[in-house]
Structure 1
Amino acid sequence: MATKNESVSSCDKEGIEEKNNIDKVGKMNEGTQSDNKTVVNDTPKKGPKFVVAKDDPTKDSLINSISLFVDENKQFIQNGLYVIAFFGVIKIGHTVRAFTRFSSASKIPEQFFKENVQLYVRVKSTDVAAYKSEKLPKLVASHIPIFQTPFNKQSESNISLLVPGLHIDSDYIDKCKDILQKDYQDKKLKVLLLERYQDECAIGEAREVSWWPARNKWVGQQLVYQGYGHVSGNCQSLSKSYLNSLQKSQLSAQRMKRGIWQQSSNQPSLSLVSRLKNYFSNFHPR
C-alpha cells in the first residue's frame, strides 16, 4: 500500500510540474505578443494625404491635380524655393555691387553718381586741395563694401574724395589740416556721391557715423563753425540738410566773430544769454 501511495503522489507531482511549465510558456508567449504590439504601436504614423472623393465633380480639375502634386512633392518644392531664394540674393548683391570693393574713384560706376549712391569708407589720410579755384577738404579713404569677404578684404582701395560746399581761407589752411587729421583720421564715414572730378577724384558729402544722431558731424562743418572758411556754391547738387548745417555753422561763426569774421563790424552785438548759448553749442555743433 505504501508503495502504491508513493507512486500516486509522484504522479501527482509530475502532473503539477507539467501544468506549471505549460503556464510559464503561455505567459512568455503573451509577453512576446505584447512586446510585438508595443513595437507596432511605436511606429510613426504618416499624415493624411490629399484625398479626392470618387463622386467629386472637380476631381479631374486642374486645381485638384496641382494640389495633389504639391502634396506629394512638398519636400522637393521647399528645397527648390530655398535654392531660388539663395541665388536671388546673390544676383541682387552683384547688381548693387554689394561684394565689390572699389580700388579708386575711377572704378566707381557712373550710375552711382547719377543716383547719388551712398558708400561707407574709412579715412586713411586728410589734406586740403583745390577745386574750381577754391580750397576744399580732401580725404583719401578705403571703400568698405556692404558684404565683406576674405577676397575683397585683401584688395587695396584708395579713393580720393573732395568735400564741397565750403571754401577754406588761405590763412587757415594749416589749422584746417590739423582739425581734419584730428577729427577724421581712421574714422568710418558715410559718403553721398555727387559727381566725378577729372576721373581721379569723387565729389561727395561726408559725415561721421555714430550711434548717437547728435554726434553725426559733417566733414567741413567744424571748419566753417570755427570761421576757417565760408559757405560756397561750388557744387550745385548739395543736399538740403548738409547745406543747412553749413549755413548754421557760418551764422554762429559770424555772430561770435571767429576766424575770418573777426574783422567784421556790421554784425549786431549779442546779449550775454546769446553768447553763452553759442559758447556751449561749440561742444555740439550741428
Structure 2
Amino acid sequence: MKKIFFIIFSVLSISVLAQTLGSKLDKSTLALGEVGVFRVTISNLQGKDVVSAPKNELLPFHFEEIKDSISKQADHYDRLIEFAVFEEGKYTIPALDFKIDGKILQTIPYEVEVINTAQKGDQINDIMKNKEVKLEVNDYWQLYKFYILGVFIVLALIFAIYQFIRYGKRRKSSPIMMTNQTLKDLENLRKKKFMENGDYRSFYIELIDISRTFITKQYQIPADVLLTDDLIDVMKLNNTISPQNETIVENIFLRGDLVKFAKTFPDQPMMEKDFEDIKSFVRSSSKDLEMDQLRTGV
C-alpha cells in the first residue's frame, strides 16, 4: 500500500512540476490575404526562460506575419501571431521548437489551405462609360516624354560602358583577389559577434550570402540565384570544386536552411566550426581552380 501511495505521489509531483505546451490555429481554411491567428501557450513555467525563434520569424516563409506578440509572466507564456498567405495552395506549419531550461517542447503541426474566393465568370462592370478623347502630337509627348528620355539615357549609358570597356582600363579580377576579399568579408562577419550573442539566424544568413557570392565569382557557378538543392547538384555536375569542399558547402548550406526556418538551433561551437570550414574552403579554392585547369588542359 505504501509503495502504491509513493508511486501515485511521484507521478502527481512530476505532473505538477512539468511545463505544459499548447497551440491553437483558429482556421484551417483561409481566403487569399485573410488574417489567421496562431497561438502558443506554455503553463507552469516556474520562472524559467523560454527560447524560440525571434519575433516575426517563427512561421515558414509562405506565412506573412502581420503581428507577433509575446506575453510572459513568471508561470505563463503566451505568443500570438497574426498572419496571412497570398498564394493559393496547401501549406504546413511544422512542429515548432520551444526550449525551456534545456528541454525542447514541440507544437503539433498544422495544415492550412488557402483558396481564392473569386468565382469564375464574375462580371466586372465599369462605374461609368469610357469617353473617347482625340490626342494630338503634344499630348503623346507629354504622356511618353519620360519614357523616351529614359530610353535615350539607357542608350547613352550602354554606349559609354562600351567605350570604357573598349578603350579604358579594365578592372583586374583574379582568384587571389577574390579570395582575399572574401576572407575580409568573413572577418567583418566575425566582428559582428553573432556567434557570441547566440544570434545563429543572422550568422548563417550572412555566412551563406558571403559563400554564395564567392562561389558565383570564383567558380562561375550561379550560386546567387540557385536554391540549395539545385546548387548542390550543379556543383557535383560541374566538378570544379573538390569533393572535400563540396561536402563543406553542402553541409553548411543545408544547416543554414534549417536554421532559417527555425528547425534547428546550433550552438556556438557548431557555428565556430562552420565559420572555420568556410574559411578553409575559400583559402583552398585556388587549388580547385588549378586542378580544373589541368583537367581541361588550359
TM-score by length of 1: 0.24
* Bigger-Rg structure (1/2): 1
TM-score by length of 2: 0.23
